[in-house]
Amino acid sequence: MDNYPISSNSLEKFFYVNGNHLGQQYKESLSDYKTWDQKGHASEWILFPENIGPYLSLDETSLSNGELYTVLTNKQGKGQKGTLIAMIEGTQADEVIAVLNRIPEKSRLLVKEVTLDMAGSMNKIVKRCFREASLVIDRFHVQKLAYDALQEIRIAHRWDAINEETNAMENARLNNEKYVTTTFANGDTKKQLLARSRYLLFKSAEKWTPKQKQRVQILFGQYPDLKKAYWLTHSLRMIFAHTTTKGVAYTKLARWYNDITESGFDSFNSISATIYAHYPNILNFFDNRSTNASAESFNAKIKAFRATQRGVTDIPFFLFRLSKIYA
C-alpha cells in the first residue's frame, strides 16, 4: 500500500474486506504514520532535502477546497520515488522560503536550473533559495497567454453575433415576419461558426481536418482580425518549437514582440508587457529546452491519487501517503 496509489475502496473489492476498516487499520497500526517525523507540521509543510537535484520544477497545486500548496520537485525523479522535495501550504514567498532554507545551503547551491511560471512570488523564491540556479519561464505559460488573447477576440465576435441574431429575431417578431437564419456554405450560422471554431484555433493548420479547413476558410474570410491573431499565435509556437539557439531566439522573439505591438490588438497588450518583464528568463528555455511539464505531470498524479481517496479530509495523512509514493 505504501508504493502504489491504491485506495482502501479498491482493496475492498479485491479482497472482500471493509474498506473503511482497512483504511483505519493502515493509518493506526499497519503503517508508521504515528511515528512519522513530519506528522506534527505536515498540514503546513513537508520537506525531503535528500531528494534535491540540479534540475528542479516549482509549481502550485490544490489539495482540498481550492487551498493551494507550493510544490518543489526533482526532474530526475521522473515522477517516481525521489521526485517530491517539498510541499508547503500557500504561495506566500516568505513562508515558502523559510521552509526551503531548511535544506542545507551546500545542497541548494548545487541547483543549476529551476523551471517555473511567471508569478512574482515564484521568481522571488528561486532567487532567494537557489542563488546559482538559472530561472526558466515555462514556454507553455507564454504560449497560453497568446492563446487566451486569440480566444478573447473570438469570444468578442461571438457575443456580437449573438446580439445581432437576437436583434434580428426581435425585429422580425415586431414586423410579424418569420425569422430566417442566414447560414454559410458549411451550414453554420455566424454564431455557430464562432463557437465551433474554438478548438481548431489551438491546432496547427496541417492538423485541420477537411471540415475544419472549410470552417476556418469561412471564419478568416468573415473575420480578418482572427486570421491575423491566429498566425501571430502560431508563429510564437513555431519560435519555441524550431529555434535551437538562444541568439536566434532573441532576434525572433524581438521581431514577434514588434509584430504584436503593431497589430493594435488590445487583447495582446498583456503579452507584450509579460515578454518585456520576463525576457531573460523566457530566453533561458533555449539553453536546455526545459519546461514545467514534469511539474504538471506530478500535479496530475496528485489529483489522480486524491480522486482514489474521494477527496482529502485528513491532509497530514494524505501527505504521508503521498510521501511514501513520491518522496
DSSP class per residue in 125-191: HHHHH-TTPEEEE-HHHHHHHHHHHHHHHHHHHHHHHHHHHHHHHHHHHHTT------B-TTS-BHH
Lowest mean pLDDT among 17-26, 198-207, 246-255: 17-26
Q: What is the pLDDT of residues 131-166, one digit of tens each?
A: 999 999 988 888 888 999 999 999 999 999 999 999
Q: In what order do the strands lie in the sheet with 55-64?
A: 45-47, 84-89, 67-74, 55-64, 113-116, 134-137
What distance in Å separates the CA atoms of residue 35 and residue 276, rounded to the nearest whole number?
50
CA 283, 287, 292, 295 torsion-angle sign: negative
**Integer Cα distance of 141 and 169 in angstroms:** 41
Task: Give pLDDT, residue 1.
Answer: 46
Residues 60 and 122: their CA atoms lie apart, in Å, by: 9
Enter the CATH code of domain 32-136+291-326.
3.30.420
Tens of pLDDT along 244-273? 899 999 999 889 988 888 888 888 877 878
| DSSP symbol at 73 | E
Give the confidence band of 4 by pLDDT, cuts at 50, 70, 90: very low
Query: In the prediction, which pLDDT does 160 show?
Result: 94
What pLDDT score was predicted for residue 314?
80
Could you tell me the CA-to-CA distances from 27 to 31, 34, 39 in Å, in that order? 6, 8, 12
Contacts 24+ apart (CB under 8 A), 275-284: 275/142, 277/118, 278/118, 278/137, 279/253, 281/123, 281/135, 281/136, 281/137, 282/137, 282/139, 282/142, 282/253, 283/246, 283/249, 283/250, 283/253, 284/113, 284/134, 284/135, 284/136, 284/137
CA distances from 189 to 166, 215, 285 (A): 13, 11, 42
Q: What is the pLDDT of residue 305?
A: 78
Q: How many Å separate Cα 232 from the centre of its chain?
A: 21
Cβ atoms of 2 and 320 within 8 Å: the answer is no
- Of residues 241 and 267, more confidently modeled: 241
- Closest Cα partner for 71 from 54, 312, 51? 51
Instruction: Indicate if the pLDDT at residue 19 is higher than 60.
Output: no
Q: What is the mean pLDDT of the chain?
A: 86
Locate the domains of the chain by residue range. 32-136+291-326, 139-288
Q: Tell me the pLDDT band of 309, cut-offs 50, 70 and 90.
A: low
Single-letter residue type at 131: R
| Phi and psi, residue 221, nearest 5° | -70, -35
Task: Name residues whose C-beta falls within 8 Å of residue 205's C-beta, 6 or more positions apart in sequence.
Answer: 216, 234
Residue 87, SS3? Answer: strand
